[in-house]
């Protein structure tokens, strides 16, 4: 790995522990899967608008435009046939995961596939979830999510017209920053294809803007983007870099590692990426995910079990994340084995999920047939996750012109391994430093174990620079150190034309 950096911040990055904040945390808001709540502004730190004012003002054709790719749960989903919010609003009008009719919208179909791809439904992404508003005792509470990243880019002069009403001042020239919203329930390789189409459209738009604003003629195919990703967004982005819009073909050859996506990208900043997965994804698939009941919803295992992306977050590094139960614990190396999930009645194999599966399959009246369909689908998704991880984990140096930077949290105890307890429940057996969702080792894809330990990190990935921060999964983006370094990387750090310092 390239040398890491930890720049000292000013003031108290965590902010004061005000009584109102403690009350909100006790109400469960700290468990939001996007990474927590930026309820209080950060104190201290440099005035970035002063530090980067001149560089931010230079936003002509010579500067790469920006694309922000959020993580799982990071895009608002809407049923386009009714305009009902499926994810991203938490009030009575939004889809409720305890309601049978809404479950059919929140879950992906278990039947009607094209190859391995779920059938199309009416649910579409409707913007990046920059902030969430919920009501507690009738009082609206705003939880900032990706607004922190977007506001940081705004300070650097990157402007997005989609956020004109979002309370962030992006200035007048709205054409240099884009958000990539996507249906995070679906397969990451499928969304990588959507990212290519998104970039192709933006290239044409930018070429026209350069002509109108600056009188500069640009071939759209020569325009490169700088990309900021968070969490799972880094996985679909890395697949895009390597394979472009090539699909993962069922029982067919692996996609060709042609780096067709790399020609679209200049610099990439990967924030809290689960490069070797996250143990929490296993726990959620087995036990469901509680986002903060009674205010925020609970997603049952059978709902999450319909999402290809959820399996593609499973831990798959060299260190085992699952052990047998009892005194003589043995590592379980193959988390993709359908027999493992069926024998322990996990996720879509859990008989207790029968009512949820019945809601997803309303036209199938036979409970045994429903259970059989669910288990067959689970086996397909586990197999697909195995192929997705193999495609991402194949060692390969990036082509010239692409530079990558990594941001990692390493101050919080983060679930790293479980043992199988009574009735198949998972019992935490190991925590490691991380950001509360992704361990430091899994973000780095550190392949060291007790048997092959060395002082230096061993990883197939290479980054031009790595920034280590204290903080929780998405709250990393609140840090003045994060903001300062991101703007320096994007605006002022000299670019290397050789691009030989990265391997993604």
- Judge whether residue 241 has pLDDT over 70: yes
CB neighbours of residue 454 within 10 Å = 7
Scanning 139-260, the segments in alpha helix (DSSP H) are 147-155, 188-214, 233-243
Output b/e per residue, 308-320; b: 16+ Cβ within 10 A.
Answer: bbbbbbbbbbebb
**Cβ(409)–Cβ(470) below 8 Å:** yes
**Cβ(343)–Cβ(423) below 8 Å:** no
Q: What share of the chain has pLDDT > 90, as a percent?
A: 55
Cα(278)–Cα(437) distance, integer angstroms? 7
Please tell me what DSSP assigns to residue 490. Answer: I
Backbone angles phi and psi of 240, in degrees to 5: -60, -45
Cα(392)–Cα(242) distance, integer angstroms? 8
Cα distances (angstroms) measured from residue 296 to each of 37, 87, 88: 13, 11, 11
- Judge whether residue 295 has pLDDT over 90: no
- Judge whether residue 52 has pLDDT over 50: yes
**Residue scoring higher pLDDT (83 or 352):** 352
Cα distances (angstroms) measured from residue 457 to each of 26, 29, 126, 144, 379: 37, 35, 40, 34, 34
Across the strands, what pairs with 69? 229
- Judge whether residue 294 has pLDDT over 80: no
* pLDDT winner (highest mean) among 18-27, 53-62, 136-145, 474-483: 474-483
* CATH no., domain 4-246+255-492: 3.40.50.1820
- Judge whether residue 22 has pLDDT over 70: no
Confidence of residue 95 (pLDDT cuts 50, 70, 90): confident
CB neighbours of residue 133 within 10 Å = 12
- The pLDDT mean for the chain works out to 82
Confidence of residue 133 (pLDDT cuts 50, 70, 90): very low
Using a CB cutoff of 8 Å and minimum separation of 24, what contacts does 370-377 make?
Answer: 373/110, 373/111, 374/110, 374/302, 374/305, 374/348, 374/349, 375/338, 375/342, 375/348, 375/349, 377/110, 377/306, 377/348
Confidence of residue 148 (pLDDT cuts 50, 70, 90): low
Backbone angles phi and psi of 9, in degrees to 5: -95, 175
- For 340, the enclosing helix (H) or strand (E) is helix 338-343
Tokens of 335: 């988390």
159-205 pLDDT, tens per residue? 544 444 333 343 455 578 888 999 999 999 999 999 999 999 999 99
Cα(236)–Cα(240) distance, integer angstroms? 6
Cα(436)–Cα(35) distance, integer angstroms? 8
Give the CA diameter of the chain: 73
CB neighbours of residue 120 within 10 Å = 10
Cα(366)–Cα(370) distance, integer angstroms? 6
Residue 163's pLDDT is: 42
**Cβ(465)–Cβ(474) below 8 Å:** no
Across the strands, what pairs with 134? 90, 141
Output b/e per residue, 371-409; b: 16+ Cβ within 10 A.
Answer: bebbbebbbbbbbbbbbbbebbeeeeebeebbbbbbbbb
Strands (E), 320-460: 322-323, 403-409, 412-420, 426-434
This prediction's pTM? 0.85
3-state secondary structure of 322: strand
Cα(226)–Cα(154) distance, integer angstroms? 14
Cα(40)–Cα(107) distance, integer angstroms? 33
Cα(393)–Cα(390) distance, integer angstroms? 5
How is the chain split into domains, by residue range? 4-246+255-492
- Judge whether residue 320 has pLDDT over 70: yes
- What is the distance between the terminal CA atoms of the chain, rounded to a whole angstrom? 12
Backbone angles phi and psi of 284, in degrees to 5: -65, -40
Backbone angles phi and psi of 309, in degrees to 5: -60, -30
3-state secondary structure of 424: helix
- Judge whether residue 393 has pLDDT over 80: yes
Confidence of residue 355 (pLDDT cuts 50, 70, 90): very high
């Amino acid at each position: 790995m390239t040398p890491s950096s930890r720049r000292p911040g000013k003031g108290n990055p965590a902010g004061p522990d005000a009584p109102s904040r403690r009350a909100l945390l006790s109400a469960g808001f700290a468990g939001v899967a996007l990474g927590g709540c930026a309820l209080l502004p950060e104190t201290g730190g440099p005035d970035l608008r002063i530090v980067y004012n001149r560089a931010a003002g230079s936003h002509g054709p010579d500067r790469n435009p920006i694309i922000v790719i959020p993580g799982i749960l990071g895009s608002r989903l809407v049923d386009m046939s009714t305009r009902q919010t499926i994810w991203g609003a938490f009030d009575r009008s939004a889809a409720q995961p305890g309601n049978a009719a809404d479950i059919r919208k929140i879950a992906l179909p278990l039947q009607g596939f094209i190859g391995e791809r779920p059938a199309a439904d009416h649910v579409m992404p409707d913007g990046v979830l920059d902030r969430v508003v919920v009501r507690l005792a009738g009082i609206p509470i705003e939880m900032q999510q990706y607004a922190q990243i977007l506001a940081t880019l705004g300070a650097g002069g990157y402007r997005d017209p989609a956020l004109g009403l979002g309370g962030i001042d992006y200035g007048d020239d709205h054409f240099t920053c884009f958000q990539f919203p996507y249906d995070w329930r679906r397969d990451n390789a499928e969304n990588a294809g959507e990212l290519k189409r998104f970039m192709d459209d933006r290239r044409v738009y930018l070429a026209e803007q350069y002509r109108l604003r600056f009188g500069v003629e640009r071939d759209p195919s020569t325009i490169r983007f700088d990309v900021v990703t968070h969490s799972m967004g880094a996985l679909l982005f890395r697949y895009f870099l390597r394979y472009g819009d090539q699909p993962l073909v069922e029982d067919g050859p692996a996609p060709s590692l042609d780096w067709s996506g790399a020609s679209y990208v200049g610099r990439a900043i990967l924030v809290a990426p689960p490069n070797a997965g996250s143990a929490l994804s296993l726990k959620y698939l087995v036990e469901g995910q509680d986002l903060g009941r009674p205010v925020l919803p609970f997603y049952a295992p059978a709902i999450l079990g319909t999402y290809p992306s959820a399996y593609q977050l499973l831990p798959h590094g060299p260190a085992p994340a699952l052990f047998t139960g009892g005194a003589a614990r043995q590592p379980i190396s193959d988390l993709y084995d359908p027999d493992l999930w069926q024998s322990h009645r996990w996720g879509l194999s859990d008989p207790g999920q029968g009512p949820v599966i019945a809601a997803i399959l309303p036209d199938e009246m036979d409970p045994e047939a429903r259970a059989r369909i669910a288990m067959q689908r689970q086996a397909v998704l586990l197999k697909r996750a195995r192929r997705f991880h193999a495609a991402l984990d194949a060692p390969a140096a990036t082509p010239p012109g692409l530079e990558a930077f990594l941001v990692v949290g390493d101050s919080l105890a983060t679930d790293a391994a479980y043992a199988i307890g009574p009735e198949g429940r998972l019992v935490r057996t190991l925590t490691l430093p991380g950001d509360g969702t992704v361990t430091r080792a899994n973000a780095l894809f550190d392949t060291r174990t007790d048997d092959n330990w060395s002082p230096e990190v061993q990883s197939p990935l290479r980054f031009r620079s790595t920034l280590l921060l204290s903080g929780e999964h998405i709250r990393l983006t609140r840090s003045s150190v994060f903001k300062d370094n991101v703007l320096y990387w994007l605006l002022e750090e000299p670019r290397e034309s050789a691009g030989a310092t990265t391997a993604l």
